[in-house]
Amino acid sequence: MDVKQILTNAQVVTKDEVFLGTVVVEHGSIVAIDQGLSQVPGGIDCQGDILIPGLVELHTDNLEKYFTPRPGVDWPSRSAVLTHDAQIVASGITTVFDALSLGDINQGRERLRNLQDMVDALNEAEQQSVHRANHYLHLRCEVSYADVLGLFESLLDHPMVHLVSVMDHSPGQRQFVKEEKYREYYQGKFGMTTEELDNFIARQKAASALYSDQYRAQIVARCKERAIPVASHDDATVEHVQESANYGMRIAEFPTTMAAARLSHENGLSVLMGAPNIVRGGSHSGNIAASELAREGVLDILSSDYYPSSLLEGAFRLRHEENAYDLPKAIQTVTSTPAECAGLADRGEIAIGKRADLVWVREHQNHPLIQHVWNGGKRVF
């Protein structure tokens, strides 16, 4: 890596403005930002394109698909992790929280069978410095799952764990307020008969009633002891939001109603929604659209969720829709705001002293085309 790099003739996107200018990087950090072009020989000409901070992704399930690319097909762990990392970087993401599910609605599925392999492979790649993005672990705790506490305790002290969320995917509430959507989703996913699905729904509701409240409280308490940020998930009602606020949660992941999103925002929780929701124009579960939250000014963070390239595309689309999100504010939803919520003060912004995590973007027919990505001043794409 060059000790000093000069990126000039770029539309530099800071937290507050966009200007044609120059960013100087030294030893992996931003050391100078100037309006105007550099005349110093050896500078990188960004050709008038857009320069933004590296994206910060708090919740992606993308890794799972590389471990099990087809039903019944297991992929070698190291290869799966490095391929996932390459796709993450190619999407402009320089900091990623890999969301791993602790518990599932079904026993014995691939995501639980592969859990320890995914953790070990991520940790090994991190220890050997072969990742091109910065990877952290986000533990997704399914609180209606009988054995979730054991899984949680086994990973809580892992050094890569920096975020925890608590969720309950049982039918008739939260993500699946509309039970017909639950039936449509799970019948399609598992190929159940109507009778099998009826029995499945009864079991999920019973497990939720038995475990969810007590497990949610215990997991939040353990995170507080370690100052690990906690996110709520799929809050739908005033009661859900009040519970999350009382627990001191920082992030409201995927609230399913306008009322829950607005109240979360008012209570100081940053509202996170899926970038695919923006790109596709709505929720696949029939819940509130992210664009509606943007029009109300209560959308704080975007996540790529299951489609990495949607993160940058979602942010760029956001500023073209009817709302108050100009380019700096739209970019904040995928950079500085998620970084701050996760307690990462050294990144997410083009500012002097911050990490030189940078993405050079060319806009073509309103679509962001990534030209290059730097992580800590090192070009990784």
> Smallest Cα–Cα separation from 56: which of 354, 365, 364, 379?
354
Q: Are residues 173 and 233 in the same domain?
A: yes
Is residue 98 within a helix (H) or strand (E), and if so which, with residue range? strand 93-102
Q: What is the pLDDT of residue 107?
A: 57
Same domain, 27 and 139: no
324 and 355 inside one domain: no
For 295-312, the pLDDT digits (tens) are 999 999 999 999 999 999
Say how many Å lie between the first and final Cα of the chain, rounded: 13
| pLDDT tens digits for range 74-111 | 999 999 999 999 999 999 999 999 999 998 766 556 77
Which secondary structure element, helix H or strand E, spans residue 370, and what is its range? Answer: strand 367-375
Going by DSSP bridges, is the β-strand pair 4-13/50-53 parallel, antiparallel, or unpaired? parallel
How many domains is the chain partitioned into structurally?
2
Contacts for 298 with CB less than 8 Å, ≥ 6 apart: 261, 262, 264, 265, 271
Specify whether 47 is located in the same domain as 64: no
- How high is the pLDDT of residue 37? 96
Instruction: Based on the fold, state whether residues 44 and 61 are members of the same structural domain.
Output: no
Q: Is the same domain home to 22 and 122? A: no
CATH of the domain at 111: 3.20.20.140
Rounded CA-CA distance 166/189 in Å is: 23
* Structural domain harbouring 35: 1-53+347-380
Residue 118 shares a structural domain with residue 185:
yes
Under-70 pLDDT residues of the chain: 1-2, 105-109, 285
Tell me, yes or no, whether 339 and 366 share the same domain: no
CATH number at residue 375: 2.30.40.10
The pLDDT value recorded for residue 1 is 56
Q: Which helix (H) or strand (E) holds 221?
A: helix 194-226
Same domain, 361 and 265: no
Same domain? For 180 and 32 the reply is no
Domain identity same for 177 and 81:
yes
Paired tokens of 110: 């691939």
* Nearest in space to 222 (alpha carbons), one of 136, 119, 151, 122: 151
Domain shared by 151 and 81, yes or no: yes
Residues in CB range of 9: below 8 A, 6 or more apart: 20, 22, 37, 45, 46, 47, 48
Which amino acid, 229?
P
Half-sphere exposure of 363 (CA within 13 A, CB side): 16
User: By the 8 A CB rule, do 54 and 373 touch?
Assistant: yes
